Amino acid sequence: MMIGKKVQDTRVRTGIPGMDDLLEGGFIRNSTVLLRGKAGSGKTIFGLQYLLYGALHDEPGILLSIEETKKDLYRESLRFGWNLEFLERQGKLAILEKHTQYSITIHEIEKAALRIGAKRVVVDSIPALFSSYPNELQPSEHRSAFHLLCQVLTDSCDCTVILISETDWSERLFYEEYVPKGVIELSTKMMEGIARKFLLIKKMREVRHSKREHLYEITDNGFTLFIPRTKYGRE
């Protein structure tokens, strides 16, 4: 596919083999993209791969990990040959672990973004972040907290953001789909007795993106899409 240079310059490469071709070159700079799917669908791996690509290409990143501890992430990532600890020491990655106070988290993200000159952020995950609040939030408070988070990460931190969410949780909170520029959905289907994994770009404002479901796989190399050699279609 031919892509104008101008369009490509404004795009942030995902680091997921096959993905950028479906998005005219990648995510729009300083946008937020919601990535959702059920447990085990590969959301964390997708997020880590996005940050790893940035770390190796002059775009440091922050992982706000509320679901998993840094220690577990270090260990799990070595399986893919990703040395997160080393990247952190080099200032190309910052992993912020679970916190109970939202305000501290925002402040810490801003501090970390400034310290490493972050260009990318992954929040893993939105439901875990919100349920870590000391008091349960009302729906309207959820909405403004979500808005604020998106704004802080894209505007004051100057980053391109992946927000990880859970399929079941998202269905209850419709605004979660409207605020981000894009929504990517991961799902599993049983086909001839084998569980197959599919990725769908449900929306991506301002982008002429693929509308198809694309098969993906998680291997020892991480998250990879299967793109047929023929046209993938833009219907």
Residues that bind ligand ADP (CB under 6 A): 37, 39-45, 79, 218-220
Distance between CA atoms of 104 and 43, rounded to whole angstroms? 25
Distance between CA atoms of 8 and 5, rounded to whole angstroms? 5
Helix axes 43-56, 70-78, angle to 10 degrees: 80
**Residue 4, class by beta-carbon neighbours within 10 Å (0-12 exposed, 13-18 middle, 19+ buried)?**
exposed
Give least dist CB 80 to Mg ion, A.
Answer: 14
Site string for Mg ion, 89-108 (x = CB under 5 A): --------------------
Give least dist CB 156 to ligand ADP, A.
Answer: 27
Q: Give the single-character DSSP code of 232.
A: -
Residue whose CB is less far from Mg ion, 66 or 94: 66
Inter-CA distances, 104 with 47, 53, 111, 185, 190, Å:
22, 28, 10, 30, 43
Distance between CA atoms of 106 and 19, rounded to whole angstroms? 29
The number of beta carbons lying within 10 Å of the beta carbon of residue 227 is 17
From ligand ADP, Mg ion, none, which one binds at residue 230 (CB under 5 to 8 Å depending on kind)?
none
From ligand ADP, Mg ion, none, which one binds at residue 234 (CB under 5 to 8 Å depending on kind)?
none
Give least dist CB 85 to ligand ADP, A.
Answer: 18
Say whether the peptide bond before residue 125 is cis (omega within 30 degrees of 0): yes
Residue whose CB is less far from ligand ADP, 127 or 182: 127
Residue whose CB is less far from ligand ADP, 103 or 219: 219
Distance between CA atoms of 158 and 122, rounded to whole angstroms? 13
Based on the shown chain and the rule CB under 5 A, indicate whether residue 44 belongs to the binding site for Mg ion.
Answer: yes
Residue whose CB is less far from ligand ADP, 119 or 197: 197
From ligand ADP, Mg ion, none, which one binds at residue 219 (CB under 5 to 8 Å depending on kind)?
ligand ADP
Give least dist CB 78 to ligand ADP, A.
Answer: 11
Region of 14-22, 40-48, 106-114, 213-221 interacting with Mg ion (CB under 5 A): 40-48
Give least dist CB 40 to Mg ion, A.
Answer: 8
HSE-up (13 A, CA, CB side) for residue 45: 23
Region of 37-45, 80-88, 179-187, 219-227 interacting with Mg ion (CB under 5 A): 37-45
Positions that interact with Mg ion (CB under 5 A): 44
